[in-house]
Structures are given as C-alpha cells and as structure tokens.
Structure 1
Amino acid sequence: MSKIKPFLRWAGGKTWLTKHIEEFLPTEFNNYFEPFIGGGAIFLYLKSKNYIKNKSYLSDSNQDLINTYRIIKSNPDALIKSLQKFKNTEEYYYKIRGTLFDNKIENASKFIYLNKTSYNGIYRVNSKGEYNVPYGHRKTKDLFEFDNILKISELFEKTYFSVTDFKKKCYETKENDFIFLDPPYTVAHENNGFIQYNQSLFSWKNQIELAQILKVLEQKKTHFILTNASHKSIDELYQTGNKKILARASNIGGTGAKRTNYNEIIISNATK
C-alpha cells in the first residue's frame, strides 16, 4: 500500500513532523482533536498508523477547507469526476478562480484545483474574501492524485468536521483526550518580525488565549502537543508542558528560492 499523504499543498504543513511525532504521543488516548486542521498531515499520519482508534474532531476557521474535507468523506467519487474536467492552463485557472459555484462538490473541486495549480499553494484572500493567488505554472503529471484522495476518504470513519473557533474545540476536550494544536504562526522564526498576513488569521491576542488554554488542558488532564515558531516571545509566553526544539527545512518558495532550516518549538504534556 502506498503512503497516504495530504491532498493539499499547505503553507506551514507538518509533514516534516511525522518523522518525530511518536516521541511526543501519549501511550494511549480516547478521542482526537485538531482545531487547526489545515493540510491534515498529522491526523492522516496518526490515523493511517492506527494511533487514533476512537472519534476524531477536526475543525478550522476556513469554511472552504472544511467543506472540501466533508466532500472527500461523503462523496469522493463525485469529487473526482468533477476534478477530471479541470485543465491546468493559465486561462482556465483565472476562469475558475473568478467563478462562483453554488454546489458543494464543485466548490470542493475548485478549492483543490486552485490549491494545486496556484503559486506555492498559498491560501490568500483579499478584503472582499476573494481568492487572489496568481497561477503557478506547475507542470505536474498526476496533479490531483485521485488514488490518494480515495484512500484518505476511507480514513474518515468516526471523523467529524466543523467550522469552529479553536477555543470552543479546546474546551470540548475531556480527560485522556488528545489535542494537536498547530496555529498560524504569529512571529517569524527567531527574529523580531511579525508575520503580517497571519496577524489577520491568528493574532498575538490569540496566542495569549492559547497559552492560557494549555493551562486548562493540563488541569483537565487532556494530552496536548502544540507547535510554534522558535522565538523568544513564544518561549516566554508558553509556560505549560515540556518544550523541545526541532529543526526543519523551509517548504515555501518559488523556483530558485533560498531554502533554509528553521527551528520549531514543540510543547507537549503527552510524552510517553
């Protein structure tokens, strides 16, 4: 069986962390929560390896993303049939980008298509909420990887999706549940700069709220793993759990872009 992988290209995706995640996992846990599901690399890895045995609650603030997950779970064949009509050309890209669909399956296929063919797979909208990333000129033979989509759909048994504020999902956890937290990074790695775009997605105020939530999770005996940029302000803010620094390669950049290693901080109370 070929390896199951995320069906989306996702800025800040955690595929790199799957090589290290076992050392942070609890020995056993009840239900799994992930309130910043994004590309879903950690969930897909844990589920495919049978670490997740009970219910999974996956959520995000991005409605189009959650709709796409729901369609993959409920109607992958119709989604694939829709995607087969899409063409990887610049003219067609801008036509689809500017088209409004009122069908959930077509909206899901549009979301995947734009993600796969846009510049770097970045998800960015303007002040009107319109996706405005330019065409990426990607020449990929197997653009959508339909076999992978079908395998992912099979993993979604006992998995529930919602468009929900992260705080609400965190407070829904109970003793011996496990929550993986991967918020949009508010500060750039190991420098003094704020990531301006992410400020609209996840502000410093949100970081403070999340740091307080970790204390509540600790008191409830909920297992947690949180990832963040390795930065002095993050280290000082989060005072709950055990911390470890891991290095990873940058996964964002166009042709010829400089690739560098970044340090990430992993905060967890879920060690074996």
Structure 2
Amino acid sequence: MISNKQQATSNKQQATSNKQQLAELRPFIKWVGGKRQLLPELAKYVPEHFGTYFEPFLGGGAFLLALSPENAVINDFNSELVISWMIVRDKPEELLKQLKQHQLNHSKAYYLHLREADRDGRLENMTLVQRAARFIYMNKTGFNGLWRVNKKGQNNVPFGSYKNPNIADNDTIKTVSRYLNDVNIIITNGDFEKMIETAQTGDFVYFDPPYIPMSATSSFTAYSSDFGYDQQVRLRDVFVKLHQKGVHVMLSNSDVPLIEELYGRIEGIVIEHVSVSRTVGAMASSRKKVGEVIVHGK
C-alpha cells in the first residue's frame, strides 16, 4: 500500500522525468490571458510535494504543461475547448489531417464560413475530430487568439489577418498528445466547484478563472460574460474550504481592489502582487505591463 507521502514524492519525480523526456511542453492553442508570461512567478509557489493536481479553468493549459504532473484532473466549461484537448490526446493524427485541410483552404472567406457552423446546423453534424479542428483553426486565425461567443453560444470573433498562422502545428500537438497519454489525466467539462469535489488533503488545486475586469470597460482577459461577481464570490468560498481542508490552493487574477476584499482577511492566505506583459486593446501588437495577483496558502 503506497502512502500519500510516497505517492506525492513519486508524482514529483515522475513530473521531473516527464519534463526531461518531453523537453518544454507548450500549449497547442493561443489563449487570451494565458499563463506562459506568468509561469516564473507561479513556479515560486508550487508546493514541494503534492498528490493529484486539479485545474478547473484549463484554457490553453500552459501551467499544466509546465508542471507536467503524473496525476491530474483538468476541466473547462468551454465544451469546444474540452473536445479539442480530448482529441489531441486520443486522435492527433486525424486532427492534424483536418488541420492541414484548413491550412490549405485558409482565407478570410473560409474562416467566416466555418464560423457560421454554429449558426446553420453544421456544428451538430460534425465529428468530434472536425469540431476540434474547427476550434483550433479559429483560435489560430481569429483576432488575437480570442474565443468569444454571444448569448446564443455563437462565435463572433473577427478574422485575425495573420500572414502565416501555424494552423497544423505537428510537433506541438504530437508532443502534448504523448504527454497526455503517458500520465494519468482525467479531462472533464463542467462547473469548477463540482470538478474539485474529490480533492483531498495534500492535493494541489490551481484556479485561473476569467479575470475580474481592470475597469468597467476592460474585459480583454475574459472569454465568458457569465463569470461575474457572484461567481467570483463562490470561487472564493470554494478556495477557502479547500485551504481549510489541507489542500494546496493557488489562484491568479487581476490586481484590483476586489481581490483584497475577497481574499485579504483569510487566515493563512497570502496575496502576491506581480507585473506581467500582456496584449491590451485593439492592436495585437500593443503590449504593456499589467498588474496581476497570485493568491496562495502559506
């Protein structure tokens, strides 16, 4: 019978081994608010030992891939994103074949035609491989890597006008697929609170929710308008329960006054203030330093 401490040690050793074997794992999609810029800061607060890793707001998965845990449960409420992760794991060759077709046909007119698939009934008739390829193609060629839908769940991101988008990224997709198959990872699609119900003492949960807007008009980091104040409060309550349960918890968000209101008076919780280079505004080339926070237990 393996003890929790032995499992945690094995988990860390295997994670190190995975990193050495796979070199640097990087996301197969672009993601607004992705964590690659924040990785050096996040790394400072990773627990030395942990059991299962949980990530309820997966997105592009930059932190998951950098951490490379042996045991993990990952989740997102974006069903097209979750399908894409599953297909990268299960059918990378079929996916790449579809993406190469998209690359051959790539144009503004083709992008807009494919975008209409969630309006004209084509999406429901697509295979999961086709849906994953559509998602990745639109992510790579839509404006600034944004995935945004209207109240009807229809994508409304404009064409990105990139010169040479890497649509069929063979090496990255195969490398991520190999990692997902070499370790024990459960992929789910649902509410963040439900997916962490099995988290136990010594496990590690990282929350990367849609960020709180920096101002009333700034929402460049969010891809869902459904995650508002009430959801941020519910997330805080879940965070506290996990912390009190002995689970290692960490959260990233915007550096706004609401963070202090939500997390500033919790015993054993620290708020770290960091500065990250982000693309801001209408121009994809416009980057500036923005304030973010990392909230974690002592």
Verify same fold: TM over 0.5.
yes
Shift of 1:255: 4.1
Q: Which string of whole-angstrom CA distances, capped at 9 and with x for unpartnered residues, describes residues 10-62 of structure 1? A: 11111112122221011110001000001101001110xxxx23x21000111
Q: Partner letter of residue 204 of structure 1?
A: Y
Which one has a larger percent helix, Structure 1 or Structure 2?
2
1:161 and 2:187 aligned: yes
Matches within 5 A, 1:36-47: 36-47=57-68
Give the TM-score normalised by the residue count of structure 2: 0.83
State which of 224, 242, 245 in structure 1 corresponds to 2:273.
245
Given that 2:74 and 2:186 are in contact with CA atoms closer than 8 Å, whether structure 1 keeps it comes out as yes
Shift of 1:194: 6.6
**2:294 and 2:175 mapped to 1: Cα distance?**
29
Counterpart of 1:146? 170
Counterpart of 1:261? 289
1:79 and 2:72 aligned: no
**1:203 and 1:268 mapped to 2: Cα distance?**
21
**1:38 and 1:203 mapped to 2: Cα distance?**
18
1:109 and 2:133 aligned: yes
- What is the RMSD computed on CA atoms of the aligned residues? 2.0
Against the structure 1 CA distance between its residues 186 and 61, is the aligned structure 2 distance closer, same or farther, given a 3 Å change threshold?
A: same
**Identity within the alignment, %:** 30
**1:254 and 1:4 mapped to 2: Cα distance?**
29
1:90 and 2:111 aligned: no
Given that 1:14 and 1:42 are in contact with CA atoms closer than 8 Å, whether structure 2 keeps it comes out as yes
**1:247 and 1:75 mapped to 2: Cα distance?**
38
State which of 225, 229, 232 in structure 2 corresponds to 1:204.
229
Given that 1:116 and 1:144 are in contact with CA atoms closer than 8 Å, whether structure 2 keeps it comes out as no
Counterpart of 2:17? none
**1:141 and 1:62 mapped to 2: Cα distance?**
23
**1:74 and 1:264 mapped to 2: Cα distance?**
35
Gaps of at least 5 residues in structure 1 are none
Figure out how many residues of one structure are paired with residues of the other and give that number. Answer: 263
Against the structure 1 CA distance between its residues 194 and 119, is the aligned structure 2 distance closer, same or farther, given a 3 Å change threshold?
A: closer
Gaps of at least 5 residues in structure 2 are 1-21
**2:196 and 2:23 mapped to 1: Cα distance?**
33
Q: Partner letter of residue 131 of structure 1?
A: N
Give the TM-score normalised by the residue count of structure 1: 0.90
State which of 225, 236, 243 in structure 1 corresponds to 2:250.
225
**2:109 and 2:199 mapped to 1: Cα distance?**
46
**2:82 and 2:284 mapped to 1: Cα distance?**
33
Shift of 1:193: 5.7
